[in-house]
Structures are given as C-alpha cells and as structure tokens.
Amino acid sequence: MGEKDNLSLATILADRGVRLTRQRRIVLDLLDNSTTHLNATNLLALAREQDERINRATVYRTVNTLKRAGLIDELDLLHMEGEQHYYERRKASDHVHICCKSCGRVQELETELVAQLADAIFKQTGFLTSGIRIEARAKCPDCLATAEAAASTGDSDHE
C-alpha cells in the first residue's frame, strides 16, 4: 500500500483506461499539485487560468469520477467558509484536519491514533472501517497568541 503515491492522478487514470481529455488533465494536475484544499469554485477558477473555456460541470464531473474511484476524498472543513466541499488526494493513511476558527488556516496531522481508532471501532462495535474523516475546530498558535495579548489588555476572548 502506498507505492503509487508518487504517480500522478492522470497516470493512474490512464492505467485504468480512463479517457484523458485536455480539461481533465488540467483538473487532475491542480489536485496533484495543490498545497491547499480546493473546492469546486477554486478548481474552476484555477482551471480557467489555463483554459478559459472549461465549464463548471466538467469540474464537478471530474471530481465525481475521482471520488468514485477512491482517488480523492471530500471534506467540508467544518463549514468554516460556507457549504462548499473541499477535495484532496487520498493518501496512504487517513489523517487529521485541524481548522483554525479564527484565521481559517488548515493544518494536517498524521498520527497512529487514527489507526488505533479504526481498531477500537472494530473491537468495540464490530463495524469494519474503510476510511475515517477527522476534522478539528481549533485555534492556531498565532491566533492563540493574539487572543492572549488581547486578554491581557482586558479584552474578552469570545469564541
């Protein structure tokens, strides 16, 4: 497991006999190379920088293909910026998404606790897990510092 992590989505799809169009290649590349989590709107905007003509429907259709193929996962990052869904390449193991409720920054964390969780789920409920989505609402170090500074000047730290 995980030996294909460095293959591009395009390569993987080609191997599976999926037709690769100009539009799909653009979206796949974006998902391969993005460092942030992209939603459909972002994807469309970025894709249009490369091809003015590309349509919203194509972005959604491509993303759905990838979801069904198990190559990307869908997140909502706790709806901190609206109702859109975010997409990321599926990695070898599930990880935690930590969202700063003050500045919106999203940090990822890999920890063996996730695997332990899957084990505990099976042992305690009999449910066999095939994927876990974990999203934490949090305050990032920077925003914590800011809040502390504000507190020491008498301001209250409202959620």
Site residues, a second copy (CB under 8 A): 70, 74, 76, 78-79, 96, 98, 100-101, 107, 109, 111, 113, 116-118, 120-121, 124-141, 144, 159
Token reading at 80: 């901190």
**By C-beta, is 21 or 64 nearer to a second copy?**
64
The partner in contact with residue 121, picked from DNA, a second copy, none with C-beta cut-offs of 5 to 8 angstroms by kind, is: a second copy
Cα separation, 92 vs 35, in Å, equals 17
Non-local CB neighbours of 101 within 8 Å, separated by 6+ positions: 80, 137, 138, 139, 159
CA torsion sign, 143 to 144 to 146 to 147? positive
Residues 23-42, interacting with DNA (CB under 7 A): 23-24, 39-41
Contact status, residue 39 vs residue 84, Cβ threshold 8 Å: yes
The partner in contact with residue 126, picked from a second copy, DNA, none with C-beta cut-offs of 5 to 8 angstroms by kind, is: a second copy
Cα separation, 56 vs 53, in Å, equals 10
Contact track, DNA, 58-97, x by CB under 7 A: x-xxxxx-----------------xxxx------------
**By C-beta, is 13 or 100 nearer to DNA?**
13
Burial category of 153 from C-beta neighbours within 10 Å (exposed 0-12, middle 13-18, buried 19 and up): exposed
The partner in contact with residue 90, picked from a second copy, DNA, none with C-beta cut-offs of 5 to 8 angstroms by kind, is: none
